[in-house]
Amino acid sequence: MMMNDMTSRKRIRNSSVELLRLYAMLMIVGFHYIISNPDMGWLLHQETSFTKFVYQFIIMGGGWVGNFIFFTISIYFLLDRDLSLKDSLRRVWLLEREILFWSFVLLLVLIAAKHEGVYRESVFWLVPKTVFPLLTSMW
């Protein structure tokens, strides 16, 4: 009987919506690839062509559409269930732990880069931001 109650409460996500969310992530990654790639300066100096159209309007424009789709679907999945205050606080704590973990990982990578001479700036100003990432608006 208990197993039956657990399966009836568990909701199954629609795989086509998950596929749309995955496609939106790919659109965002494609947008960031074009924007942050230093070799893509040729795109601005290229005359009008099908390639330029695909890059500028489909991939770059798709990044903004992908952001909207991804966050809309994510919010829908977050709001899809009834949560109590205790469940909401648990989710906030899980998010805070995840942010703390990645903050420390990135600080360690930056310290290693400074030790190897790749990064030349001081990293000590990042320590308070790493310990309190949400309070100091690090992320």
Tens digit of pLDDT for each residue in 3-28?
Answer: 454 445 556 666 778 888 888 888 88
Q: Is residue 5 part of a domain?
A: no
- pTM, 2 dp: 0.49
Domain assignment present for residue 64? The answer is yes
Same domain, yes or no, for 40 and 20? yes
Stretch 99-111: mean pLDDT? 86
Residue 6 inside a domain? The answer is: no
| 70 plus 118 within the same structural domain | no
Sign of the Cα torsion 64, 66, 69, 73 reads: negative
pLDDT classification of 115: cutoffs 50, 70, 90: confident
Note the pLDDT tens digit of each residue in 30-87. Answer: 887 777 776 766 666 778 888 778 777 777 777 888 888 888 888 877 776 777 888 8
Distance of CA 73 to the CA centre of its chain: 13
d(CA 107, CA 113): 10
- On whether both 66 and 123 belong to a single domain, the answer is no
Indicate if 36 and 91 belong to the same structural domain: no
The per-residue pLDDT for 1 is 47
Q: Do 71 and 88 belong together in one domain?
A: no
Residue 1 lies in a domain: no
Structural domain range at position 100? 84-139
